[in-house]
Amino acid sequence: MKTIALYPGSFDPITNGHLDILERATRLFTKVIVTVAVNKKKDAVFSGEERVELIKECIKEKDWADKVEVNQFTGLLVDHAQKMKADTLVRGVRQISDFEYEFRMALTNKRLAPEVDTIFLMPDEEFTFISASIVKEVAYWGGDLTSFVPPLVATALKDKFSDK
Ligand code: PNS
């Protein structure tokens, strides 16, 4: 198996579904770099630094944490992959509806950098409907986030939406 994989995403914020995919990736690769895409054109609730910190906090007690590095990037993902010496991109696919977008993205990345492969991992069934957007919607209206995100992420979301 290849050694370094990049797990990219917006992670605004990280969810239990992301953590499930990340754990699976650590079983397949020697090192997994979780990389937060900071896109100035896209409105995010958390800054790049805040998202990186939340991810680090969420994984620090895991027994696979030493296989994971967390950083952020702006620009093209494949450029960042090459800079990090990663030859595999990991993406989670929850449902068939995710696949069209993921397939387009994987083919675009392949055209830009043919040596970088994308692999798709399925999360556990219980996480298949969880997305950062749904989590933010539930948080905005004050819903219970227990089964969606780790407690520290739930607290961070509550703080963000406290003055809504
Ligand atoms: O969690 P997301 O929002 O589905 O992640 C999408 C992400 C950040 C991985 C994707 O938008 C991305 O790679 N952005 C960086 C710009 C880029 O390289 N675009 C070309 C591939 S479509």
Q: Is the pLDDT of residue 1 over 70?
A: no
- DSSP SS3 for 76: coil
Percent of the chain with pLDDT over 70: 99
Alpha carbon nearest to ligand 1 atom 16, residue: 76
Domain segments of the chain as ranges: 4-125
Nearest residue to 142 (alpha-carbon basis) of 164, 124, 121: 164
User: 120 C-alpha to center of ligand 1: Å?
Assistant: 14
The residue length of the chain stands at 164
CATH tag for 4-125 (out of 3.40.50.620, 3.10.310.30, 3.40.630.30, 3.40.50.300)? 3.40.50.620
Q: Which amino acid is at 7?
A: Y
Which pLDDT score, from 0 to 100, does residue 147 have?
95
pLDDT digits over 118-140, tens only? Answer: 999 999 999 999 999 999 999 99
Determine if ligand 1 sits within 6 Å of the CB of residue 92. Answer: no
Q: 110 — phi, psi (to 5°)?
A: -65, -40
Confidence of residue 41 (pLDDT cuts 50, 70, 90): confident
pLDDT band of residue 70 (cuts 50, 70, 90) is very high
Nearest-angstrom CA–CA distance, 164 and 155? 15
Ligand 1 atom at minimal distance to the Cα of residue 76:
18
CA neighbor of 51 nearest in space, from 162, 158, 164, 156: 156
142, HSE (Cβ side, Cα atoms, 13 Å)? 3
pTM exceeds 0.85 for this model:
yes
Choice between 163 and 150, residue whose per-residue pLDDT is larger: 150
